[in-house]
């Protein structure tokens, strides 16, 4: 790596770095530079070699910035933004920043451009980083992050939400207001803001007119060894992603999210994309995103992982999210439907944590699942005490799933199927043995045009004890 410095143009200072990265996806570089007193704006651009052979096989130069507080692991005070491979440059000033970055005072001291190359070309990647420090008038300083609004609805019920969404603050196409409009059109009650590795969108949401839609702050923590959703971050919360399983620090960051009241959810754990396959194990997660966007083979694999965990007795919650990036990707398909005491962040997180939820492909699909024994009953996410040898009756009520097949799944696998003939409310009933079943959950699929059929809805289990 080389550096050329000292060039001045008027009130601007120009710095230039260059180098070449070799093949690999797990590498980081920091380009330190001194910011003198009086600098009001920092501009960065990063031209680099392009390489692509289709799909995820391409070179990407992830990009970010840390301020004079430092760039050591977990240093939220030093973090000033991240755009990953979505941008080749950015601007930061006191009053304005490129989406993904944090506006605020330009403190004098040692700053650093952060580079995270994903190099899949056998010839490596040549790159350059151009940094411009501009003096001039200081604009009004951006304010601190503030808490999100209070509950929109103060009654218990089933609330529909999308737990995985992106905006222009990472690699999405929608501005926050456009995302709100799309969510309301899909019949959602809440969304979770999960831009990659940055909390800049969470500065925008409190001032956004949501029309009663609840926005829960979050982040898609995009490591090179799997992605996870930090759901329910506090105001200003940010989670670092620069680690591998061998570093042994994932439990620390997961614990910090949980201690602040949030949830840790492994996102698309079976996605066959470099850096996306989940490698951190399941000891420190609250949930698995078993349904990511349009149902596909990756989701089938995630579903099998989840079933294995349930059979081991782990009460890991299944969730779904659209992972919508582009305008043509529907928001709220799928959607996670949560039973909560009210429409508020703490109540929804509590409902999710307890598994009081199911996943549906759209707002037209509703599912109720109840297990009963000798006059006692339990619903999704609840536990039904069962005396030894007593039979358990499982009842499902399904709406909006005409022409589908419902399958009752227990620890023994599929123990019963039933047709859902029409869109009207349909009741299904099975009798099972609690000792061998251990839990009961429902999968509803379309007619099998492909080997397993496209998912329409799936529930978290009713537990049998």
Confidence label for 434 from pLDDT (cuts 50, 70 and 90)? very high
pLDDT attached to residue 451:
59
Q: Which residues contact 171 (CB under 8 A, 6 or more apart)?
A: 84, 85, 86, 196, 325
CA distances from 201 to 50, 179, 193, 220 (A): 28, 12, 8, 12
The count of domains in the chain is: 3
pTM recorded for the entire structure? 0.94
Q: Which residue has the higher pLDDT, 450 or 20?
A: 20
Give every CB contact of residue 136 below 8 A, 6+ residues apart in sequence.
11, 40, 41
- Same domain? 156 vs 282: yes
- Which tops the pLDDT comparison, 133 or 424? 133
Query: Rounded mean pLDDT of 277-304?
Result: 98
> Are residue 261 and residue 188 in the same domain, yes or no?
yes
Question: Which of 107, 135, 163 is the endpoint of a domain?
Answer: 135
Q: Are residues 121 and 173 in the same domain?
A: no
Interstrand relation of 226-231 and 214-223 (parallel, antiparallel or unpaired): antiparallel
At 24, list the tokens.
């690999």
The 3-state DSSP composition of the chain as helix, strand, coil percent (nearest 5) reads 10, 45, 45
pLDDT at 431 over 80: yes
Share of the chain above pLDDT 90, in %: 86
Read off the tokens for 144. 């601190």
Query: CA geometry: angle at 162 spanning 361 and 395, to 5°?
Result: 50
DSSP single-letter state for residue 135: E
pLDDT digits (tens, 9 = 90+) for 390-426: 999 999 999 999 999 999 999 999 999 999 998 889 9
| Gyration radius (Cα) of the chain, Å | 24
Q: Residues 95, 242: one domain? A: no
Instruction: State the CATH number of the domain containing residue 110.
Output: 2.60.120
Of the listed ranges 13-17, 99-103, 267-271, 450-454, the least confidently predicted one is: 450-454
**C-alpha 6: how far from chain center:** 42
Query: Of 316 and 136, which is predicted with more confidence?
Result: 316
Q: Report pLDDT for 54.
A: 75
> What band does 428 get if pLDDT is binned at 50, 70 and 90?
very high
**Residues 163 and 282 placed together within one structural domain of the fold:** yes
Last residue of a domain, which of 330, 363, 396?
Answer: 363
Residue 147 has pLDDT above 70, yes or no: no
pLDDT band of residue 207 (cuts 50, 70, 90) is confident
CA–CA distances in Å: residue 35 to residues 38, 40, 106, 242:
9, 10, 8, 25
Please write the tens of the pLDDT for every residue from 22-75.
999 999 999 999 999 999 999 999 999 988 877 788 899 999 999 999 999 999
Beta strands in 380-454 (DSSP E): 383-384, 391-399, 404-410, 413-420, 426-433, 439-445
**Does the pLDDT at position 4 exceed 60?**
no
Same structural domain for residues 117 and 106? yes
- Closest C-alpha to 58, from 10, 18, 25: 25
Domain shared by 111 and 176, yes or no: no
pLDDT of 452 > 60? The answer is yes
Say which CATH number the domain at 211 has. 3.20.20.140
Q: Mean per-residue pLDDT for 450-457?
A: 81
Cα-based angle 413, 414, 417 (whole degrees, multiple of 5) = 175
Q: The domain containing residue 129 runs over which residues?
A: 2-135
Q: Is residue 10 within 8 Å of residue 64, measured between CB atoms?
A: no
Q: Which residue has the tokens 């109840």?
A: 370
Point out which residues pair with 369 in neighbouring strands. Answer: 396
Same domain, 377 and 314: no
Q: How far apart are CA 287 and CA 258, in angstroms?
A: 12
Dump pLDDT digits (tens) for 181-193.
999 999 999 999 9
pLDDT higher at 211 or 279: 279
pLDDT band at 453 (very low <50, low <70, confident <90, very high): confident
Instruction: Supply the pLDDT for residue 417.
Output: 96
Confidence class for position 211, pLDDT limits 50, 70, 90: confident
Residues 370 and 346 in one domain: no
Which pLDDT does position 152 carry in this prediction? 65
Tell me: do 333 and 232 sit in the same domain.
Answer: yes
| Domain identity same for 199 and 284 | yes
Contacts (Cβ under 8 Å, ≥6 apart) of 229: 163, 164, 192, 194, 218, 219, 220, 221, 263, 264, 265, 267, 289, 321
- CA pair distance 159, 382, nearest whole angstrom: 17
Structure tokens of 9?
């143009």
> Tens digits of per-residue pLDDT, 56-70?
888 999 999 999 999
Structure confidence at residue 164 as a pLDDT band (50, 70, 90): very high
CATH number at residue 379: 2.60.40.10
Q: Residues 348, 372: one domain?
A: no
pLDDT greater than 90 at residue 243: yes
pLDDT at 3: 57
Average the pLDDT over 440-453 and give the result. Answer: 83
Q: What is the rounded CA–CA span in Å between residue 411 and residue 432?
A: 11
CA 279 vs CA 240, 243, 250, 379: distances in Å: 16, 11, 11, 32
Q: Determine the pLDDT at residue 206.
A: 86
Report whether 95 contacts 142 (CB < 8 A): yes
> Residue 360: helix, strand or coil by DSSP?
strand
Mean pLDDT score, 160-174: 98
Out of 98, 118, 135, a domain closes at 135
């Amino acid at each position: 790596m080389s550096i050329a410095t000292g060039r001045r143009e008027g009130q601007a200072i120009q710095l230039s770095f260059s180098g070449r990265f070799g093949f690999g996806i797990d590498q980081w570089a920091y380009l330190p530079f001194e910011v003198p007193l009086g600098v009001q704006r920092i501009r960065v651009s990063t031209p680099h070699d392009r390489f692509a052979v289709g799909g995820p096989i391409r070179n990407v130069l992830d990009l970010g910035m840390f301020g004079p507080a430092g760039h050591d692991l977990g240093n939220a005070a030093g973090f000033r933004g991240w755009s990953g491979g979505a941008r080749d440059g950015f601007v930061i000033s006191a009053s304005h920043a490129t989406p993904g970055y944090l506006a605020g005072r330009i403190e004098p001291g040692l700053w650093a451009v952060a580079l995270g190359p994903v190099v899949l070309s056998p010839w490596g990647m040549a790159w350059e980083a151009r940094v411009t420090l501009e003096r001039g008038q200081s604009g009004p300083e951006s304010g601190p992050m503030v808490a999100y609004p209070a509950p929109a609805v103060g009654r218990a019920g089933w609330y529909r939400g999308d737990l995985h969404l992106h905006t222009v603050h990472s690699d999405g196409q929608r501005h926050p207001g456009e995302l709100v409009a799309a969510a309301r059109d899909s019949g959602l009650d809440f969304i979770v803001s999960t831009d990659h590795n940055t909390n800049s969108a969470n500065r925008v949401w409190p001032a956004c007119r949501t029309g009663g839609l609840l926005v829960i702050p979050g982040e898609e923590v995009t490591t090179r060894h799997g992605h996870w959703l930090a759901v329910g971050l506090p105001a200003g919360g940010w989670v670092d992603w620069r680690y591998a399983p061998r570093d042994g620090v994932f439990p620390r960051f997961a614990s910090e999210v949980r201690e602040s009241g949030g949830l840790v959810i492994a996102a698309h754990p079976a996605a066959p994309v470099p850096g996306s396959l989940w490698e951190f194990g399941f000891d420190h997660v609250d949930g698995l995103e078993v349904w990511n966007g349009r149902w596909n083979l990756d989701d089938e694999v995630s579903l099998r992982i989840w079933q294995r965990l349930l059979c081991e007795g782990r009460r890991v919650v299944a969730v779904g999210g659209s992972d919508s990036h582009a305008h043509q990707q529907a928001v709220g398909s799928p959607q996670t439907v949560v039973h909560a005491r009210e429409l508020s962040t703490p109540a929804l997180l509590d409902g999710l944590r307890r598994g009081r939820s199911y996943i549906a492909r759209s707002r037209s699909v509703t599912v109720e699942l109840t297990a009963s024994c000798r006059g006692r009953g339990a619903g999704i996410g609840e536990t039904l005490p069962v005396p030894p040898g007593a039979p358990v009756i499982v009842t499902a009520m399904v709406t909006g799933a005409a022409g589908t097949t419902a399958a009752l799944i227990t620890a023994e696998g599929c123990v019963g199927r039933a047709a859902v003939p029409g869109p009207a409310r349909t009741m299904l009933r099975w009798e099972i043995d609690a000792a061998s079943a251990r839990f009961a959950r429902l999968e509803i699929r379309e007619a099998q045009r492909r080997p397993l059929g496209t998912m329409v809805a799936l529930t978290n289990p009713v537990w049998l004890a």
